[in-house]
Structure 1
Amino acid sequence: MAQRGPTYHLHGVQKWWPTSRIMPFSVDREEGGVAIVTLSPETSRNTFNPANFNPLVEALEGLMDDPSCRSVVITGSGGFFSAGGPIDEFADAIDDGTIGQVTSEMTGTLHPLILKIRGSETIFIAAINGAAAGGGLGLALSADYRVCSEKAKLAAAFFALGLSPDGGTTWLLPRLVGVQEAKKFFFENQVWSAGTSLEKGAVDEVVSHGELIQRSVEIAKKWGRWSANSRRSSKQLLDASTSTFFETQLEFERALMIASSMTPDFAEGVSAFLEKREPVFSELYEEE
């Protein structure tokens, strides 16, 4: 049995990471229902190594299922936010003929996570501290808001490897920068600096490296203070808006409006309006 090492919490249960392995991430809880998930140096460089990625996915899904966690700030360490797939392991898989299975398992884990992030009531802030490349770029783009350190860089890197893009990058990036800019990004194998990423619209703001986490937490608290219904339905509606007919969008809005009107969230909002006070949606959920 592996010796017990550092701990993390999932669904309120304390879990141990073996001392023989580098802790793939840390989770720090802040006031205001914010969790900061920091990838370890090893995980940041090779996020989608299954030994690193599966526990990370499990923890992120646990935070999304926890009503007391309203926002998640995800960041990397060292010079990387996330460099995507483990190239050395790809080489081994090519040699032994298992590369199809490896990429199938990798995307089969990453893509459901990104879908859940996009549709979750939990607000995700990507605090991009360094290079975000490949599938790691997809993870950053899947967030609801991207705060970029002055040291950050965005890269696709798929074409240099002879790969097709994944991680939702071909859906997420065009919606931020436009189809033609996304094409140039991929086909020219471009690397965008923090300033260029902001200019193109791929990130929302650039701050000094030392202010990155503080600013990201500020946004996380600001966006996370609204009701779960408002957060979840707005994320889903806005994502659907670019790929549905107007009539379909109206029906989707109507269905979510009716459903949300029958929740305690709406009752609190109405009471607060009539009493001329700010709504306190946090009281509807289990506090930390």
Structure 2
Amino acid sequence: MVYENLIYKKGDGLALITLDRPNQANGMNYALARELANAAQDIDLDSSIKAVILTGNGRFFCAGGDVVGMSKLGDDLAPEVKRMADELHKAISTFARMSAPVIMAVNGTAAGAGFSLAVTGDYVIASESSSFTMAYTNVGLSPDGSSSYYLPRLIGIRKTQELMFTNRVLSACEACEWNLIHCVVPDDELLERAHSVASNFLNGAAGSNSAIKKLLLQTFDNGLETQMEIEGRLIAECARSDNGREGIRAFSEKRKPNFD
């Protein structure tokens, strides 16, 4: 695919995706959502990728759906919105289930679908000037982008209701206090911190990180015994792997492991 709405780079085990519609506040439309889904699929199929960074170009991470573009669709509005949501959801599902951890580097306003996308990350870093708001009901729409799944699990139903019904705007520090993100950094240090976090994944055992993602994705759906059985199977799978053997050997030899 030729990417016209995002910048997609891969190398040395890292994939970097930059939403690239700065003149439209990186607003989500069908084309951007489709490209995002395609990039996610490409990463998922590439076993060399051990970490992903997703950020936005310009002053916005993603200001939600491209409402100006939507206003021009006429009778095609509803089917086009559904097509866009389907592609966005495909991307989010792929990011959630791929082996590589996904780092969200939120560089500005994250509204609507941008908010929804940001909090799906395995590790979420925000710049000091960033902000978070649902904003869907301001334009007569309802939440998408998995926010009705992730938000109640991250912050509980009451705070989710507050965000969705009132469109309260959270500063980066408030978002951190609410456990929506992991940390806040100065604006000019955002990508540096994202790459620092990525380096931990790049130097780590890919199988271990993949197992963590699988365990956490299932934890609210399973009972205790079911979850422990999955834990047992995954830790045994890791122990059988080359990285598992190397990690155990390195620990016993009191040296740093050399993971693939």
The question of a shared fold, defined as TM-score above 0.5 by the shorter chain, is answered with yes
| Whole-angstrom distance in 1 between the partners of 2:31 and 2:82 | 15
Is the counterpart of residue 132 in structure 1 residue 132 in structure 2? no
Report the equivalent of 1:72: 52
Check conservation: 1:24, 1:42, Cα contact below 8 A: no
Structure 2 residues not aligned, in runs of 5+: none
User: In the TM superposition, what is the alpha-carbon distance from 1:124 to its structure 2 partner?
Assistant: 0.9
User: In the TM superposition, what is the alpha-carbon distance from 1:28 to its structure 2 partner?
Assistant: 4.3
The aligned runs of 1:1-288 (5 Å cut-off) are: 16=2, 23-29=4-10, 33-42=13-22, 45-93=25-73, 95-96=74-75, 98-282=76-260
| Whole-angstrom distance in 1 between the partners of 2:208 and 2:196 | 19
User: In the TM superposition, what is the alpha-carbon distance from 1:206 to its structure 2 partner?
Assistant: 0.9
Q: 1:199 to 1:82 in 2, by over 3 A?
A: same
Structure 1 residues not aligned, in runs of 5+: 1-14, 18-22, 283-288
State the identity as a percent.
32
Q: 1:85 to 1:172 in 2, by over 3 A?
A: same
Check conservation: 1:44, 1:76, Cα contact below 8 A: no
SS in 2 for 1:276: coil
Indicate the RMSD between aligned Cα atoms, in angstroms: 2.1
Q: How many corresponding residue pairs? A: 260
The alignment's TM-score, normalised by the length of structure 2, stands at 0.91
SS in 2 for 1:74: strand
| Whole-angstrom distance in 2 between the partners of 1:108 and 1:274 | 49
